[in-house]
Chain A
Amino acid sequence: MDDEIAFHLAMREEQLRRRGLAPDDAHAVAQRRFGNLDDVRRECVEIDRGHVRQQRTITILEDLMQDIVFALRGLRRAKGFAAAAILTLAIGIGSAAAIFSVVYGVLLRPLPYPDADRLVKLGASMPAISASAGNVSRAEYVDLLGMHSFSSVAAYDETDRTLGGDGRPERVYVAFASTSLFPTLGFHAALGRLFDDAEDRPGGAQVIVLGNGLWTRRFGADPQILGRTVDIDGISRTVIGVLAPADRLGRAEAFLPIRIDPAAHNQRGNHSLDVVARLRDGTSIGQARAELATYASHAAAEYPEYRGTGFEIEARPLRDAMYGDARPTMMALLGTVVLLLLLAAVNVANLLLVRAEARQREIGVRVALGASRGRLVRQLLTESLVLALAGALIGVPLAALGVRALLALNPSVVPPGAEVSLDAGVVVWVAVIVAVAAFVAGLMPALHAGRTDVRSAIAAGSAGGGRHGGRTRAMLVATEVALAAMMLVGAGLVGRSFWRLQAVNPGFHPDGALVMEIAPPRVRYDSSYKVLGFYERAMDELRALPGVRSVAATSNLPLSGEMADWMLEAEGRAASSPTLPSPDYTIATTDIFPTLGIRLVAGRGFAATDRGTDPPVIVVSREFARVFWPDDRSVIGRRLRFAGAPPEHPFPWMTVVGVVDDVHRASLSTPPRPTYYVLDRQFAPMIGQATANMTIVMRTTGDPEQLTRAARAVIAGLDPDIAVANLRTLSAVVSESIARPRFAVAVLGAFGLSALLLAVVGVYGVLSYAMTRRRREIAMRMALGAQAGTVRRLAIGAGLRLAGAGIVVGLILALAGGRALRVLLFEVSPFDPVTISVTALVLIGAALMASWLPARRATLVSPAEVLRGE
């Protein structure tokens, strides 16, 4: 710029001097005519800078386009290589995207509530009797309302009820909720309004707020829905509002006021509420926990209900409480898929290296013609990016379909309420995955090519490349084998664990029985007499069906996720005796043990002679007897009663008449807890209320599936307004309870097999190539008298050495990382020697298999030809 201005001024001065001006005057006039030098200079420099920036961007874009076109042309010429690379990447990227969309939905996607990380779930626990910490009692909830750490506290109880009244009874999940639930979770009414405090009081109006999904599904998104009535369990409720589509809580499709009355009886000991609270601004969860601890210790001292049991309240971040169970499985899946992606990328890197060696000459020429190393590297990386994108285009849609199919078959893999779908957040991550794949695959070959020595490259032509390339490839394949080893160990451990799990004896006979959940609407079945009567009639009619051996009903079906516990007092035991756990209880009908196939260990089961008016009897489980009376050989005749009654009106004593085998109730992997069984007709007069919701179990002689329609017809015939829910075989119940581990096994197994395949192909490729390069050496050996067997052994030895390094490294890494899998494993150690040795053997076998063909080909070399040809 300065030169330009100087030139201009010089020319002007010359012209002025020619016209007769003195040199000084000429200089002054020239400057004046020009104007402000600094301003002009500054402006021009600014303009130029912008220009340069523009040019640079254009150049980069042009280069990129050129690279892409070049890459595509090159790939079209090497279709075989392109197909192999794209397929491998499709598998890696597709699997990664699929698993990632599931993991994202469960672990990472923000909960659909504003400031969801300020929400916590509160749960009470009674440490001395190891009772669970998920729920809260009504009186405790009222106490929690006064905590300073929370800006709002809400209670809800999610349960399934019959939605009916129009002849189409349907079991839906509803949530009884306090008015504070809506502001706590940030719910808004899309139509109408949400309930107010007047409705949330005992005696308030019967109202209901519909979830958006239910409104659309069952009521056709009727805009006139407000004011209409809906029948829940026979009680008419007025629709006052519909929630916005994004507002979801677990499986609840509608919300009803919970009407907590803290003054009512036994409201402190009965823990059935879920409580969610929002931390006050500026309060940390640690501070909240401190306040809760203070409250709990005061309450434990003050209230008799906690005597002997202890009392604590826990606060867990909401996401953790809702989905925490699924975390170990998700992390295992994520870890494995990362390995698979890495494996696919390494495999492609290997392919690219081979290809690079074949293109040595071409690259050499380009370097000679002036391509900078940076440009070359960029070009090759673009190539791998193109491959990765192609792989993604194929893999991702297939993955999306696969995920949808898999979840449709295994819905319980994902916790209820978690949303798994391919949306913006997931797509961003898929893009990252693709970039990583491209980078890992392309980096080594690209850098390798950049180091090409021009002269030797052009001279060497096609078979060059040198030792360097061979060693890199061998290292890559060893890495592949290591990765495959890790994945196979993981799959093996999880597989063995699942095998053990599904072989666990549940404590009852799953095969040959049908179950269904029934809920007679409370409004018409408002007395124990009516409830008990209905079940008796239903069971009589079901028993009369051909193919039915016995029928019974139970309040909690094992392994179905339903559990309830109620503390018992044992006769002859002082109130301050060492604390006992709160046992699980089941209300059942007479034939429950033979129908479910639970073995009798001592005494007797229930009989028809145990009438409702007789002194109540109780049957306990073996674990119950062991825990409550550890030193006694016979517990028959001992007496127990329900705890929680006021001391002046205690519950009547129940006499133990039998002991049955333990049953897995929570899951096959959880050891059975102490359990007891009470007859429904004896329970009702004790408590004053019959258990209305029961599961009916029918033991059949043939295939239970055959009876589904008949069973449904019986119930409909007795009362068309009663919905039958979860009609399935008992073996299906057991199978669903282990759905998540089964899913993990299936996915990890599939990945492990893919890994094995890729590793075998990798070993084969490298060995093939190595044998080709050692043709001369082999020819010489054969000429000097070596037998085919020796040559074969040479080849196989090379193959085993190659794989061996990978196997050793892989197994060491697998052992190192094994501890992480411990949570997922059932009765299998993460260092299980059987799995490790089997994996090693499988990989050695695979390496042998991969080496066989190259070894055979090596022996077919004709020494004379080779030596002459060199």
Chain B
Amino acid sequence: MSDAHADLLRSSLDLLILKAISWGPRHGYGVAEWIEQATDDALSIEEGTLYPALHRLERKGWVKTEWGISDNNRRAKFYRLTPTGRAQFRAQAPAWHRYSEAIALALRATASVTNA
């Protein structure tokens, strides 16, 4: 995977994660589940890649972690948005939308735009 491609994928993943926990703390599996549902299972990513992303977000200070009990009484590490994280998400999500719309627009173009 080229660096640019990896970066793009990483930041999209980060946004998805931030969205996933924006309603409340979730554990890593919970985030994976939510992404599956929300994208209608259209996105198939290696689930393992979530964890480095989550840890990186924690290092950046955008998410906080604490160990707790899951719904089925298992011990799990829960991730929660910090105020900084929330602010970052609110700033970056619209930018991503604009970016992807711009790409979609360009890809849908039927005629060449350059002058003959």
A positions within 8 Å CB-CB of B:
1, 3-5, 7-8, 10-12, 14, 33-37, 39-40, 43-44, 47-48, 50-51, 54
Write out the residue numbers on chain A whose beta carbons fall within 8 Å of the beta carbon of B76: 4, 7
Are B47 and A12 in contact, CB atoms less than 8 angstroms apart? Answer: yes
Least Cβ distance of B95 to chain A in Å? Answer: 25
Least Cβ distance of A505 to chain B in Å? Answer: 83
Are A4 and B77 in contact, CB atoms less than 8 angstroms apart? Answer: yes
Among residues of A, the one whose C-beta sits closest to the C-beta of B31 is A8
Least Cβ distance of A39 to chain B in Å? Answer: 7
Write out the residue numbers on chain A whose beta carbons fall within 8 Å of the beta carbon of B70: 7, 11
Are A37 and B48 in contact, CB atoms less than 8 angstroms apart? Answer: yes
A40 to B48, CA, bound (A): 6
Write out the residue numbers on chain B whose beta carbons fall within 8 Å of the beta carbon of A4: 27-28, 51, 76-77
Are B59 and A47 in contact, CB atoms less than 8 angstroms apart? Answer: yes
| Residues 38-62 of B contacting A (Cβ, < 8 Å) | 46-49, 51-52, 55-56, 58-59
Write out the residue numbers on chain A whose beta carbons fall within 8 Å of the beta carbon of B77: 3-4, 7
Write out the residue numbers on chain A whose beta carbons fall within 8 Å of the beta carbon of B52: 40, 43-44, 47
Are B59 and A39 in contact, CB atoms less than 8 angstroms apart? Answer: no
Known: A7-B27, A12-B29, A44-B55. A33 touches B75 (CB 8 A): no
Are A8 and B46 in contact, CB atoms less than 8 angstroms apart? Answer: no
Q: Is B108 among interface residues, defined by CB-CB distance under 8 A?
A: no
Q: Is B98 among interface residues, defined by CB-CB distance under 8 A?
A: no
Are A33 and B29 in contact, CB atoms less than 8 angstroms apart? Answer: no
Are B59 and A51 in contact, CB atoms less than 8 angstroms apart? Answer: yes
Write out the residue numbers on chain A whose beta carbons fall within 8 Å of the beta carbon of B74: 7, 10-11
Least Cβ distance of A56 to chain B in Å? Answer: 13
Least Cβ distance of A107 to chain B in Å? Answer: 51
Write out the residue numbers on chain B whose beta carbons fall within 8 Å of the beta carbon of A10: 74
Pick 19 A–B contacts, CB within 8 A, sort by A: A1-B51, A4-B27, A4-B28, A4-B76, A7-B75, A7-B76, A8-B28, A8-B29, A33-B46, A34-B48, A35-B46, A39-B48, A43-B55, A44-B55, A47-B59, A48-B55, A50-B59, A51-B55, A51-B59
Among residues of B, the one whose C-beta sits closest to the C-beta of A8 is B29
Which of B29, B49, B56, B75 is the one whose CB lies under 8 Å from A40? B49
A10 to B75, CA, bound (A): 11
Known: A7-B29, A44-B55, A51-B59. A35 touches B48 (CB 8 A): yes
Write out the residue numbers on chain B whose beta carbons fall within 8 Å of the beta carbon of A14: 72
Are B47 and A35 in contact, CB atoms less than 8 angstroms apart? Answer: yes
**4 interchain residue pairs of minimum CB distance:** A35-B46, A35-B48, A40-B48, A51-B59
Least Cβ distance of A793 to chain B in Å? Answer: 70
Among residues of A, the one whose C-beta sits closest to the C-beta of B28 is A8
Write out the residue numbers on chain B whose beta carbons fall within 8 Å of the beta carbon of A39: 48
Q: Is B32 among interface residues, defined by CB-CB distance under 8 A?
A: yes
A50 to B55, CA, bound (A): 11
Least Cβ distance of B23 to chain A in Å? Answer: 19
Are A8 and B75 in contact, CB atoms less than 8 angstroms apart? Answer: no
Among residues of A, the one whose C-beta sits closest to the C-beta of B67 is A3
Among residues of B, the one whose C-beta sits closest to the C-beta of A7 is B76
Write out the residue numbers on chain B whose beta carbons fall within 8 Å of the beta carbon of A11: 29, 70, 74
A11 to B72, CA, bound (A): 9
Known: A7-B74, A8-B28, A8-B29. A40 touches B51 (CB 8 A): yes
A33 to B49, CA, bound (A): 10
Write out the residue numbers on chain B whose beta carbons fall within 8 Å of the beta carbon of A3: 75, 77
Least Cβ distance of B41 to chain A in Å? Answer: 12
A296 to B27, CA, bound (A): 90
Are A36 and B48 in contact, CB atoms less than 8 angstroms apart? Answer: yes
Known: A40-B52, A44-B52. A8 touches B47 (CB 8 A): yes
Write out the residue numbers on chain A whose beta carbons fall within 8 Å of the beta carbon of B49: 35, 40
Among residues of B, the one whose C-beta sits closest to the C-beta of A45 is B55
